[in-house]
Amino acid sequence: MSITTARLRFRPFVSADHTWLHPIASDPVVTRYTDWGPNTVDDTTDFLADAATEGAGPSPWTWAVTQADGTGIGSASLDVVSAPHRRARIGYLVGPAHQGAGYGTEIATGLVSRAFDHHGIRRVEATCHPDNTASARVLEKAGLLLEGRMRSHLLARGAWRDSLLFATLDTDPRGGRDSRAP
Ligand SMILES: CC(C)(COP(=O)(O)OP(=O)(O)OC[C@H]1O[C@@H](n2cnc3c(N)ncnc32)[C@H](O)[C@@H]1OP(=O)(O)O)[C@@H](O)C(=O)NCCC(=O)NCCS
């Protein structure tokens, strides 16, 4: 199962992706706001093995995200956390070499569209670290609204961590709410 957006392709991970993914996933700056990493070589190998088993089965789905020429830039994930309640969660990662080019927003927007248009989802959620301003901005630009702050949401690297909760509904305006747009 693959997804194509204006500039990007989401495809299943393969073991050869270790070459470009590991330098990203082992970077402590990249993972400073995540609840995983920085990855060891084995962590990335295990991640790729897990991602490969997801295939065409039920969620969660995790994709490698590449540019049109096949260059790997990051990852995308979609998890239908409750099928009866038609609720899904998204996640994304963009490597430092490709940040600031709108790819994070393009990935999040693609995931939201996928959830609504292909999986009949009512509500798409995402969380981020309260200091992760880039991720919060990505979510806002992808059309998610800030709903609140979840206290002690994660136990990350031995410390309790709050998370911001964002969500959008299938009846909300698509394409985001860019408050800075003219
Ligand atoms: C968060 C992340 C996906 C953003 O990816 P990106 O491709 O740089 O995002 P975009 O280019 O679409 O930028 C989105 C917005 O964030 C802003 N932004 C980017 N980096 C920023 C930073 N370091 N500080 C503040 N704002 C930042 C951009 O300016 C843009 O807003 P604007 O259009 O109003 O100017 C990327 O930094 C990343 O993967 N970080 C590490 C992993 C992570 O935190 N994942 C999310 C977990 S919740």
pLDDT tens string 141-161:
999 999 999 999 999 999 999
Please name the residue whose Cα sits nearest to atom 32 of ligand 1. Answer: 137
Give the pLDDT score at 176.
57
**Token pair listed for 124:** 């798409």
* Closest ligand 1 atom number to CA of residue 94: 39
What is the percent of the chain where pLDDT is above 70? Answer: 95
pTM of the predicted protein model: 0.94
* Closest ligand 1 atom number to CA of residue 99: 8
pLDDT tens string 100-117:
999 999 999 999 999 999
Which domains are delineated in the chain?
Answer: 3-180 (3.40.630.30)
The answer to whether the beta carbons of residues 2 and 11 sit under 8 Å apart is: yes
Please name the residue whose Cα sits nearest to atom 36 of ligand 1. Answer: 94
User: Ligand 1 centroid to 145 CA: how many Å?
Assistant: 16
pLDDT-based confidence at 177, cuts 50/70/90? very low
